[in-house]
Chain A
């Protein structure tokens, strides 16, 4: 059973906050001993999701937790906003893969870069995207 330790919240209100998100995630990733490639993946995923939160969600926050599960450690990042929400999740996850623009790439890309991915979103109810990257 994974235990969450060390919770931090980073507000995402302006583009400078995306930089802060990257820095915080990088620091925690180094702490839990992620390889350089895995660090890069989780920070990049965080950058994508933070941008989405800012540009499509009207601003929100990232909640960062360090997870302990027996021998392995992980980072759980939750990006939450009170924005318009996503009408067609399936399409959003598929869309943008080839065109490389807009919301789609951020979501499907973040999914590919993470060990675990979850999204909760309904029109009018905001969006919550949670990703986990394990060190093993």
Chain B
């Protein structure tokens, strides 16, 4: 069974969802991400959904789960690239996706994660080097 590849980008992990997700694939992704966040000490998770033409409540729950697990492991989740038609439909559907930050693309998503890390590190009194 194919698993969705997870790339390391600086202090974040990048996941690009391009296929129609079904249950096993979604569960595998959640497992793999959890493992990798711990293994790499990643502080951010970027989920690129710019290829998705449909986001239903199943995908919404998956995104929520990933964000919740990531938060417990001290990582921020940013969902990027949502298409206008998908956004309009999600609003109509009533899916709130609370607890998930969003950005227009991977670049802006990374900026967001970096900004948050800088903030927290400044608050902690000095940051670690990359």
**A-side contacts of B56, CB under 8 Å:** 44, 47-48, 51
**A-side contacts of B55, CB under 8 Å:** 44
Please name the residue on chain A nearest to B24 by beta carbon: A15
Q: Check A37/B85 contact, CB under 8 A, given A19-B20, A105-B93, A105-B94.
A: yes
Q: Name, among B54, B55, B58, the residue most crowded by chain A CB atoms within 10 Å (CB to CB).
A: B54
Q: How many residues of chain A are within 8 Å of chain B by beta carbon? A: 26
Please name the residue on chain B nearest to A25 by beta carbon: B54
**A-side contacts of B60, CB under 8 Å:** 100
A4-44 CB mask vs B (1 if < 8 Å, else 0) is 00000000000110110010001000000000110111011
Q: Check A43/B93 contact, CB under 8 A, given A22-B20, A36-B85.
A: no
Chain B interface mostly: helix
Whether B94 and A109, one on each chain, are in contact in the complex, defined by CB atoms closer than 8 angstroms, is yes
Rounded to whole angstroms, the CA-CA distance of A40 and B64 in the bound complex is 21
Q: Check A112/B92 contact, CB under 8 A, given A48-B56, A101-B61.
A: yes
Rounded to whole angstroms, the CA-CA distance of A98 and B95 in the bound complex is 8
**A-side contacts of B20, CB under 8 Å:** 19, 22
**What are 29 residue pairs bridging A and B, where the CB atoms are less than 8 Å apart in the complex?**
A15-B22, A15-B23, A18-B22, A19-B22, A22-B20, A22-B54, A37-B85, A40-B85, A41-B88, A41-B89, A43-B53, A44-B54, A44-B89, A44-B93, A47-B54, A47-B58, A51-B57, A51-B58, A98-B96, A100-B57, A100-B60, A100-B95, A105-B93, A105-B94, A108-B94, A109-B93, A109-B94, A112-B92, A112-B94
